[in-house]
Amino acid sequence: MGEPIRVDPELRDLVPGYLTRRREDVVALREALAEDDLATVALRGHKMKGSGAGYGFDRISEIGARLERAAQSGDADEARTRVDELESYLDGIELVNE
């Protein structure tokens, strides 16, 4: 069952690109974690935290914040869990145009 997200009409044409880039984040984050590159994980998390809710995806901001915190405290396992959470969240999104 997908999670319905209402899309602001002003942002409608930007949202698909935004979600595509988050899918790219999932790949990049897994690569960074495989290389123990927590600085990259923190930076990507920081950016997701800053943009998600602006597009209507509060959950992406939350996951981004947790990712950033996990990376900053050196907790790679927690970061991996958040990347999995991001992926399953993205898989479940259903966009509803307002």
Which residues sit at the interface with another protein, rule CB under 8 A?
10-11, 14, 18, 21, 46-47, 49-55, 58, 61
Minimal distance, residue 52 CB to another protein, in Å = 6
Nearer to another protein, 38 or 52 (CB): 52
Question: Residue 20 Cβ, how far from another protein at the closest point, in Å?
Answer: 11
Q: Which is nearer to another protein, 50 or 74 (CB)?
A: 50
Alpha helices in 5-96 (DSSP H): 15-34, 38-51, 58-72, 76-92
Residues in Cβ contact with 95 at an 8 Å cutoff, skipping those fewer than 6 apart: 4, 5, 7, 15
Min CB(12)–another protein separation in Å:
10
Q: Would you say 27 or 34 has its CB closer to another protein? A: 27
Phi-psi sector, 36: left (phi>0), alpha (psi -120 to 50), beta: left
How far the first Cα of the chain sits from its last, in Å, is 20
User: Taking the complex as a whole, how short is the minimal distance between the CB of residue 1 and another protein, in angstroms?
Assistant: 26
Cα–Cα distance list, 87 to 20, 51, 97, 98 (Å): 11, 17, 22, 25
Nearer to another protein, 51 or 81 (CB): 51
